[in-house]
Chains A and B, each alone.
Chain A
Amino acid sequence: MQLGVNIIVLAAIYALIACGYVLIYRVSRVLNLAHGELMMLGSYLLLATASTFTGHPLVAIAVALVLSLCVGALVYLFLMRKMAGEMVLAAVLTTIALGILLRGVMVIVWSAQQQYPGQALGVVNPAIALPGGARISTMAALLVLATAVIYGALFAFLRFSRWGVRMRAAGQNPLLAAQRGINLHAIYALAWGLSTLTGSIAGMLISLDSGLTGTMVLIGLKAFPAALVGGLDSLVGALFGALIVAAAEISLIHYVDPLLSDVVPFLVLIVMLIIRPWGLFGTREELDRV
């Protein structure tokens, strides 16, 4: 029972992070390898707002969320926009450089020590007993809930809202989208903003659950196999990919060796790349462009 709960929680973490990879890839064909760092930046932003807005934790959280949305949009406007029209590889390399830069800046500003945004905010994180004897921490339960809500919202946004439809249109054919009057820069900035926002929500909830150090980047990187296993351009795929990677990781930790934790996602990734390189739900032709 506890094993199942652990799988669900880890899958929710991976899914919530993976949707950020998918959003940006689907719209602009760019693989954002700074996603883990941007997610960690979101958690540090929460730490910063927690000590600034001491009135109510929700105020601090709301401000941090808005800030992370802006960070994503600004990264596009000031950095990635210059890459539009360049080779995709150049853009991907830029995200790697951005990631390294962000990591350095975060260590300088917030030090490499373990920090606890939960304490700073004054929120408690009691364990909840579930039927069947399993336990889940409040923040982990919130994380599962947040993932469900965010995926629901993203599906509704892409399916029913005009901007969501435009986002899908731009992903399919940027030139035609521009010829239909759609401002591509606005669409890409929105994708980067949403991606960073969802990643930051994951980062904040993880740090509220178990504290915040520089190793969080690794979680972001481990979510990448989840996105790729599902097929990089599919949100549904990211959900299933997260579930598969999480199930493999938790069961191998449980039955074989806890030290395998960091290796398993990439093992799954390699197996997937050998048998079905375009992922479970990905579009097959997309692969030619990677």
Chain B
Amino acid sequence: MTVPLLSVEKLEVVYHRAITAVQGISLSVKPGQIVAVLGNNGAGKTTTLRAVSGFLGLDDARVTEGNIVFKGMRIENRRPDKITHLGLVLVPERDKVFPNLTVAENLAAPVAHRAGRAERRRREALVYEFFPQLAALKGRIAGLLSGGERQMLALGSALVGSPELLLIDELSLGLAPVAVESLMRRLVEIRDGLGLSILLVEQNASIALEIADYGYVLENGRLVLDGDPKRLLQHQDIREFYLGQTTSGERKSYRAVKQYRRSRRWYG
């Protein structure tokens, strides 16, 4: 069995020293894998990603239990910039680019750890190779980009840091289905081209499971399901709650769903 690139064990995160956001979450990403984490609003997906990528003092959040191991190193509660230097880079859900900087400046700002001038230029060129649209927008202020262009720029500026593991929070949020599909394809190309691993957090379950090698499902700050994406897609809960399908093909009423959830919590 291959050693995981990232492994999270029994993670517990507490905000403002009082509010527990996630509890006992364990997951792992193996080299070269795309791993999807699914869950509704408030399920703890973003908190998990933020814990892995590091909190600032401003967040007033801490990993209080469990551990996060990246390339054999414990990284919980380290500073975000140090974690980025290790090769673990986050593309956040909101505020993912610097809105008052141009596209070129957005790609110039990230620190490329231990990279010389030539290597740095190569990486920036690589971004324009993966996202040719950005090359035409070099001088444009990032705040004026469309949602899709902004997402490309965010991915590009993450790639300048030469990540081994890319954490992506809600790639599909607010984008047209066509744009999401093309971005997902681009993501697989990037994975194959650069040999990196991706941890993808998504609400859009079907599209995430389509490209993923493994999937996890979070609910209310806990891990409730995990497994092979194909198997997850067949799972009755996933079909009902994330894809809106029932076995008989008709939609369930809100009440039935609520009832079902309550019973799930007993054996989940």
User: Which A residues fall within an 8 A CB radius of B?
Assistant: 84-85, 162, 165-166, 168-169, 172-184
Contact = CB atoms under 8 A, between A and B. Distances in A.
B44 interface: no
B167 to A, nearest CB: 9
Interface of B: 53-54, 56-60, 79-81, 84-85, 89-90, 92, 95-101, 105-106, 108-113, 157-158, 160-161
Given A85-B60, A168-B100, A180 B95 contact: no
Contact of B110 (A84, A168, A182, A183): A182
B110 A175 contact: no
B105 A165 contact: yes
A169 to B, nearest CB: 4
A176 B58 CA distance: 12
| Closest 8 pairs between A and B when the two form their complex, measured CB to CB | A85-B57, A181-B111, A180-B110, A181-B84, A178-B80, A169-B109, A169-B98, A85-B58
B101 A179 contact: no
Given A169-B101, A179-B92, A180-B84, A162 B58 contact: no
Contact of A176 (B60, B85, B92, B161): B92
Contacts of B113: 181
A15 B99 CA distance: 27
Nearest to B108: A165
Contacts, number: 85
Nearest to B59: A175
12 contacts: A85-B58, A169-B109, A173-B95, A174-B58, A175-B58, A179-B54, A179-B92, A180-B81, A181-B89, A181-B113, A183-B111, A184-B81
Given A174-B56, A179-B89, 19 more contacts: A85-B60, A165-B105, A166-B109, A169-B101, A169-B109, A175-B59, A176-B95, A178-B56, A179-B80, A179-B90, A180-B81, A180-B89, A180-B111, A180-B158, A181-B84, A182-B110, A182-B111, A183-B81, A184-B81
Contacts of A85: 56-58, 60
* Most chain A Cβ neighbours within 10 Å, of B57, B60, B96: B57
A190 to B, nearest CB: 14
Most buried by A among B59, B95, B108: B108
A276 B144 CA distance: 26
Contacts of A162: 108-109
A172 B112 CA distance: 20
A29 to B, nearest CB: 11
A16 to B, nearest CB: 25
Nearest to A283: B100
A182 B79 CA distance: 10
B99 A179 contact: no
Contacts of B160: 180
Contact of B109 (A180, A183, A184): A180
Contacts of B90: 179
A84 B58 CA distance: 7
Most buried by B among A162, A172, A184: A172
A183 B54 CA distance: 13
Contact of A179 (B53, B105, B106, B108): B53
A178 B101 CA distance: 16
Given A172-B101, A173-B98, A175-B80, A181 B85 contact: yes
A197 B85 CA distance: 31
A253 to B, nearest CB: 39
Contacts of A172: 98-101
A182 B81 contact: yes
Nearest to B105: A165
A182 to B, nearest CB: 6
A36 B84 CA distance: 38
Contacts of B100: 168, 172
Most A CB contacts (10 A, CB to CB) among B56, B99, B106, B158 go to B56
Given A172-B98, A172-B101, A179-B89, A84 B57 contact: yes
A272 to B, nearest CB: 23
Contacts of A166: 109, 111
A270 to B, nearest CB: 30
